[in-house]
Amino acid sequence: MIDQFWTFFIAITLLTLFPGVDSLLVVRNSSRGGWKDGIATSTGICSGLFVHATVSALGISALLLQSAIAFNLLKLIGGGYLLWLGSCSLWNALHRKEVTFSAVQPAVPRIFLWSRSLREGFVCNVFNPKTLLFYMAFLPQFIDPSRSPIVQSLFMAAVHFCIAMVYQGGLAILACRISDWFKGSSTGRLLEGLAGVILVSFGLRIFLERRI
């Protein structure tokens, strides 16, 4: 389907394993609502990859990066959303007597596709300019010009989807187990606050992101 498939596969696997805002969001939501909440978050995040693959293949990403207004708007939405999520975590850590985790809250609403965690993952990924920059720079290296760039980009996004779902699914289960150990303790509040600080820092970094 693409040039140098195994090179792409190894590279995208290694890059997926590198911790970032996606991994943190999966861990945070798994601690909040259980492993199903973490899987929902991962599904939302990975679904956003197809959006980036499509706009990259169509050249829309290049236009966005050339437009200061569009790029700054993307930063405001993506960075602002992370700041809001981080602020919510900090508020919960500071004002709740104890942080309740997966054993107390329902894991996922009845309508999975409308779940809060899935929406959070999707919005964070789609409006993250760092993901946009990455897909624009990385995917074209493996595109065969004699074939459809959209089909090849979507194929690479599907491979990335599968790898990320496996990795983040493991993170969700691990985070759920660890959160059970600290359920109802001050350590749980500390972890919630730490997640909030990191999310806020990621949001600020996105605000400082520059066009290439």
Express each pLDDT in 103-149 by its tens digit.
444 444 444 545 889 999 999 999 888 888 888 888 888 888 888 88
Would 16 be classed as within a structural domain?
no
What are the structure tokens assigned to 154, written together? Answer: 């979507």
How does pLDDT run across 44-91, given as a tens digit for each residue? 999 999 999 998 888 776 666 666 677 777 778 877 888 888 788 788
Would 9 be classed as within a structural domain?
no
Would 189 be classed as within a structural domain?
yes
What are the structure tokens assigned to 87, written together? Answer: 């602020």
Would 12 be classed as within a structural domain?
no
Would 122 be classed as within a structural domain?
yes
Domain count within the chain: 1
Would 75 be classed as within a structural domain?
yes
Please name which of 30, 12, 57 lies closest in space to residue 168, comparing C-alpha atoms.
30
Would 7 be classed as within a structural domain?
no
Q: Which domain holds residue 111?
A: 22-207
Would 3 be classed as within a structural domain?
no
